[in-house]
């Protein structure tokens, strides 16, 4: 791991993410790229009127001043830190910056869901999770001693999730953590008996071509099953592959990765298929 991208909005939760990113960076001699996105309207930036030009400069100056203070944290000492300030239209620019700057990981703070309005508007974290081609680690609370010993990769046991698992497995090796795969056998039309689940698990293990525990857990919802499994087994990090669904289908069908990263209190990593 060489570079970690941390989007910052000066909130407490973004500081939680920066502190975790700093711990990972120190462990692996990586650098940190701090990204702050200001929402200045294009009309303000493009207009040559003196008042509007001064307004744009004011926001930029204020952001630079805040970032200067933000980067004085003790936990950032001895870590190479770069800063980018960018005006945003929507949060898929985070993915663009991550790829242009060759970042290996995005670490982002989130306060989680804020009620029914969040279903329609979506949080910034959701937007990043949905569009990022780089793995996203979502942090909900402070971790002064961030240590991952156990990881769970949530899988539907389909072949298309194998590349995402290989990325998760590489991250587990990087952190010297154990990793296992869990399939949530949820109530409804897709519920399977033990023999059918076992056959599917064995078939998936053959495709993996590496030794790993594949387990299943019965629960009435996938999201609830993942939470319960992780809680009962003292799991430190939940990894979920995401399709990055966009548009109307996202609101009708929903996205497990976005739902879980919104509601889970534990750290969640999403990896795009």
pLDDT for residue 10: 85
Q: What was the pLDDT predicted at 120?
A: 29
Position 256 scores a pLDDT of 66
Q: Does 241 fall in a domain?
A: no
pLDDT in single tens digits along all 273 residues of the chain: 999 999 988 888 899 999 999 999 999 999 999 998 886 555 555 555 665 566 667 777 888 888 888 888 999 999 999 999 887 767 778 999 999 999 999 999 887 554 333 332 346 777 888 888 999 999 988 999 999 999 999 988 888 889 999 999 999 999 999 999 998 887 765 667 778 888 888 888 888 878 889 898 888 888 888 888 998 999 999 998 887 654 333 333 346 666 666 666 789 899 988
In a domain? residue 266: no
Any domain includes 28 = yes
Angle, CA 20 vertex, CA 15 and CA 26 arms, to 5°:
125
Domain count, the chain: 1
What is the domain-level CATH number for residue 62?
3.40.50.620
Domain-embedded: residue 202 = no
Closest CA to 23 of 144, 177, 139: 144
In a domain, 272, yes or no: no
Phi/psi of residue 201, nearest 5 degrees? -65, -45
Res 250: pLDDT: 36
Report yes or no on 78 lying in a domain.
Answer: yes
pLDDT at 261: 64
272 strand-pairing partners: 242
Q: How far is residue 216's CA from residue 234's CA, in Å, rounded to a whole number?
A: 16
Per the structure block, which two tokens stand in for 39? 């929402």
* Domain residue limits at 90: 1-144
Is 217 inside a domain boundary? no
CA–CA separation, 191 vs 245, rounded Å? 24
Q: Is 177 a domain residue? A: no
pLDDT at 115: 36
Quote the tokens at residue 65.
């001043």
With vertex at residue 159, the alpha carbon angle to CA 154 and CA 162, rounded to the nearest 5 degrees, is 55
pLDDT at 188: 65
């Amino acid at each position: 791991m060489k570079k970690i991208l941390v989007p910052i909005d000066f909130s407490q939760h973004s500081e939680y993410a920066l502190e975790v990113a700093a711990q990972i960076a120190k462990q692996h001699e990586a650098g940190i790229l701090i990204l702050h996105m200001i929402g200045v309207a294009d009309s303000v930036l493009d207009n040559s009127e003196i008042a509007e030009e001064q307004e744009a400069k004011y926001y930029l100056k204020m952001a630079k001043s805040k970032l200067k203070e933000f980067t004085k944290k003790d936990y950032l000492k001895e870590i190479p830190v770069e800063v980018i300030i960018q005006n945003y239209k929507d949060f898929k620019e985070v993915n663009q910056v991550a790829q242009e700057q060759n970042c290996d990981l995005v670490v982002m703070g989130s306060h989680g869901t804020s009620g029914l309005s969040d279903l329609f508007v979506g949080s910034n974290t959701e937007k990043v999770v949905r569009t990022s081609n780089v793995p996203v680690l979502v942090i909900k609370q402070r971790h002064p001693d961030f240590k991952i010993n156990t990881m769970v990769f949530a899988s539907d046991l389909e072949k298309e999730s194998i590349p995402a698992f290989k990325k998760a497995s590489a991250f587990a090796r990087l952190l010297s953590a154990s990793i296992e795969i869990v399939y949530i056998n949820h109530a409804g039309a897709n519920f399977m008996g033990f023999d059918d689940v076992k056959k599917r698990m064995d078939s998936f293990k053959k495709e993996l071509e590496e030794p790993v525990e594949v387990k299943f857990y019965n629960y009435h919802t996938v999201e609830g099953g993942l939470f319960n499994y992780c809680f009962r087994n003292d799991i430190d990090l939940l990894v979920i592959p995401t399709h990055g669904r966009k548009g109307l289908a996202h609101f009708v069908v929903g996205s497990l990765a976005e739902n879980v990263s919104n509601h889970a209190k534990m750290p969640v990593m999403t990896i795009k298929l």
